[in-house]
């Protein structure tokens, strides 16, 4: 049996459109998947945080992956979120996705209960010893038990089926530590960043790609950034990274996640519907305001038309000094929380 190709490139954590009853809008989801592939994403990543996997039932999660697998028809690989409430159900999900021909699954460390490194190791070791499909570890310490470097190294050496890690911490030095610890003994092991703001620096540090929420909105930009960085066209890549950072910060810090991304996908021509998380009328007003800001940003790249009434010249004028200050405060607070500054 031929070894599977190493996971690399941009895997899009796709959103799920809802219909008027709050159910999965299958025709719109299929249209969205075709569009993402046509725009050049390297792969798809259903049932991730951006895809709101916790807001679906296990049956719905499987249906989402089945729809996407059917629509993709092997055009790009699929990395499917397979985390369930316990290790037994997670292994069942692995078996189901293996039957669909999915390339690999991504599994977040146990959440709700904060576990020790020993328990995190035991959890993934049980999965790694019993899964029929390749597994990507998913490290997102703001929501789940962290996966530390010694645990990643040990799992990579003991479990052939554990082939990658997706890290959404945004901690660049720690990702480099992972690469240093694992790559000498597992050159086939993949490192994917889930933090869009660090895509270029992590690619330059040895990462293989990313699972980036922005790629569900501007797949053209994330693919361009990847190609420019990997071909060492660094001045141009840096400009794209700066543009992507501005858009990413606006989408993630100006509304409850992932509502900013849903609003932006609407601007690309898709009917995303009302999400399952109830929001207040004030929040809806905020999203409408954010949508206009995002439309101005996207129009600068030719992805949308300008909103009625046009846009102010320059992002700072469009946002207003108070808005810019608020975004900066959010970013600084987040970096402080992660002990990055």
Q: Please confirm, yes or no, whether 96 is among the known catalytic residues.
A: no
Q: Which residue, 226, 157, 211, 231, is CA-closest to 187?
A: 157
Q: What are phi and psi of 135, to 5 degrees?
A: -120, 135
> Which tokens hold the place of 44?
């798809």
Using DSSP bridges, classify how beta strands 134-139 and 9-12 pair: parallel, antiparallel or unpaired. Answer: unpaired
Q: Is the peptide bond before 242 cis (omega within 30 degrees of 0)?
A: no
Cα 295 versus chain centre, distance: 22
From the candidates 18, 45, 121, 138, give the one annotated as an active-site residue: 138
Task: Give the DSSP H or E segment for 335.
Answer: helix 321-337
Query: Strand pairing partners for 12?
Result: 44
Is 50 annotated for ligand binding? yes
> Are residues 78 and 91 in contact, defined by beta-carbon separation less than 8 angstroms?
no
Residue given tokens 């397979």 in the structure block: 82
From the candidates 166, 224, 226, 242, give the one annotated as an active-site residue: 166
> How many other CB atoms sit within 10 Å of the CB of residue 211?
29
| Interacting residues of 200 by C-beta distance below 8 A, sequence separation 6+ | 225, 229, 237, 238, 240, 241
Q: How many CA within 13 A on the CB side of residue 157?
A: 12
Q: Please confirm, yes or no, whether 138 is among the known catalytic residues.
A: yes
Q: What is the DSSP letter of 18?
A: B
Q: How far is CA 175 from CA 110, 116, 166, in A?
A: 20, 20, 10
Order of strands across the sheet that contains 43-44:
43-44, 9-12, 209-210, 190-193, 162-167, 134-139, 104-108, 79-81
- Binding site as annotated, residues: 50
Mind telling me the catalytic residues? 138, 166
- Binding site as annotated, residues for pyruvate: 50
């Amino acid at each position: 049996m031929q070894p599977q190709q190493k996971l690399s490139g941009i895997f899009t954590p796709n959103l799920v459109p809802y219909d008027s009853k709050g159910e999965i809008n299958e025709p719109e989801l299929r249209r969205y998947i075709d569009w993402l592939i046509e725009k050049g994403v390297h792969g798809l990543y259903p049932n991730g945080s951006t895809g709101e996997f916790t807001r679906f039932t296990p049956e719905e999660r499987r249906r989402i992956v089945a729809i996407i697998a059917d629509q993709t028809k092997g055009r790009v690989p699929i990395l499917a979120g397979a985390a369930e409430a316990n290790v037994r159900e997670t292994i069942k999900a692995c078996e189901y996705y293996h039957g669909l021909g999915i390339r690999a699954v991504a599994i977040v460390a146990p959440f709700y209960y904060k576990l020790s490194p020993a328990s995190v190791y035991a959890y993934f070791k049980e999965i790694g010893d019993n899964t029929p499909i390749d597994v990507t570890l998913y490290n997102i310490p703001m929501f789940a038990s962290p996966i530390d470097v010694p645990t990643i190294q040990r799992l990579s050496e003991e479990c052939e089926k554990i082939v990658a890690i997706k890290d959404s911490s945004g901690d660049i030095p720690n990702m480099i530590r992972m690469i240093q610890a694992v790559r000498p003994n597992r050159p086939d092991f993949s490192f994917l960043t889930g933090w869009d703001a660090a895509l270029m620096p992590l690619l330059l540090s040895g990462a293989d790609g990313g699972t980036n929420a922005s790629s569900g909105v501007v797949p053209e930009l994330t693919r361009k950034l990847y190609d420019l960085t990997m071909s060492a066209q660094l001045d141009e890549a840096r400009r794209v990274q700066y543009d992507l950072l501005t858009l990413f910060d606006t989408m993630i810090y100006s509304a409850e996640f992932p509502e900013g991304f849903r609003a932006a996908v609407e601007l690309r021509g898709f009917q995303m519907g009302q999400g399952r998380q109830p929001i207040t009328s004030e929040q809806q007003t905020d999203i409408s305001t954010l949508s206009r800001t995002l439309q101005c940003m996207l129009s600068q790249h030719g992805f949308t038309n300008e909103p009625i009434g046009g846009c102010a010249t320059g992002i700072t004028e469009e946002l207003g000094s108070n808005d810019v200050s608020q975004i900066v405060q959010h970013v600084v607070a987040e970096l402080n929380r992660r002990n990055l500054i």
